[in-house]
């Protein structure tokens, strides 16, 4: 492994807290940690101390796609809509640092106060959604910035977009996006983000949807958006819930 590979592997293990999972309050010594590590690797639990709940497989995918965008010189920045404690965004910034990229930015969009109450009149698929009640999802901007600072990655290459997606994303100043990651859980959050940002994704760039396999509302939002644009894309499964696709270039179908 190269020094860059070792650095990014350490970042991922730190973000998931796999390094010290046996010290966490919910650690189960009865299984000698094997089950706890399996859950964490696959993003099947909420880490008490980790900075991301997506697990190693989805972090590996982020690294693969960002590095592909760099290698293929896909124009644009990295954009995450749905930040939580900042873990996936920290990895994105770390990848740019590891590859000595000095031009791209990492955009981080979140309300930093949890998810919105369902707007059922506009988005009936969100009827009954209770994510807005989850205190664990309410992570302040100050906390997220402090987490970046712990990794030495809080700098001018970060752009924070604060507010609910319906109020901010269509005005986000990002011009082009090489990798777009969506982790908004709800139909509204997913559909609004795609509507506001998809046209800014460069041909050949990547779109990651974190909750596709887990939440029907998210899956439906993706399907409805693609249908509304008559877009044909090939979805690739990352793990039990995450998917991604590569935005077609002209002549490959879809746009």
pLDDT digits (tens, 9 = 90+) for 81-122: 999 999 999 999 999 999 999 999 999 999 999 999 999 999
Residue 124, in any domain of the structure: yes
Q: pLDDT category, 255, cuts 50, 70, 90? A: very low
Residue 41, in any domain of the structure: no
pLDDT digits (tens, 9 = 90+) for 124-172: 999 999 999 999 999 999 999 999 999 999 999 999 999 999 999 999 9
User: Distance from first CA to last CA of the chain, Å, rounded?
Assistant: 37
Residue 39, in any domain of the structure: no
The CATH number linked to 240 is 3.40.50.150
Please report, rounded to a whole number, the percentage of residues in the chain having pLDDT higher than 70. Answer: 95
pLDDT digits (tens, 9 = 90+) for 30-83: 666 788 889 999 999 989 899 999 999 999 999 999 999 999 999 999 999 999
Residue 45, in any domain of the structure: no
Domain span at residue 83? Answer: 53-246
Residue 25, in any domain of the structure: no
The yes-or-no verdict on residue 252 having pLDDT over 60 is no
Count the domains in the chain: 1
Residue 32, in any domain of the structure: no
- Residues facing residue 246 across a β-bridge: 206
Residue 214, in any domain of the structure: yes
């Amino acid at each position: 492994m190269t020094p860059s590979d070792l650095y990014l592997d350490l970042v991922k293990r730190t973000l998931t807290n796999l390094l010290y999972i046996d010290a966490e309050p919910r650690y189960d010594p009865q299984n000698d940690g094997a089950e706890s590590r399996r859950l964490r690797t696959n993003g099947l639990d909420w880490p008490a101390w980790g900075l991301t709940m997506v697990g190693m497989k989805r972090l590996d995918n982020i690294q693969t796609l960002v590095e592909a965008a760099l290698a293929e010189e896909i124009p644009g920045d990295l954009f995450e809509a749905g930040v939580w404690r900042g873990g996936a965004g920290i990895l994105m910034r770390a990848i740019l640092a590891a590859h000595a990229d000095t031009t791209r930015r990492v955009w981080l969009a979140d309300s930093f106060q949890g998810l919105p109450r369902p707007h059922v009149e506009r988005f009936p698929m969100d009827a009954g959604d209770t994510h807005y009640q989850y205190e664990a999802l309410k992570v302040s901007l100050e906390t997220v910035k402090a987490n970046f600072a712990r990794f030495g990655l809080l700098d001018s290459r970060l752009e924070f977009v604060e507010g609910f997606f319906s109020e901010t994303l269509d005005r986000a100043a990002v011009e082009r996006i090489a990798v777009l990651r969506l982790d908004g859980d709800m139909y509204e959050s997913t559909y609004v983000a795609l509507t506001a940002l998809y046209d800014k994704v460069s041909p050949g760039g990547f779109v990651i949807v974190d909750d596709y396999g887990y939440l029907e509302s998210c899956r439906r939002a993706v399907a409805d958006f693609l249908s509304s644009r008559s877009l044909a894309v090939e979805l690739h499964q990352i793990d039990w819930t995450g998917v991604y696709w590569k935005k077609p270039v002209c002549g490959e179908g879809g746009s």
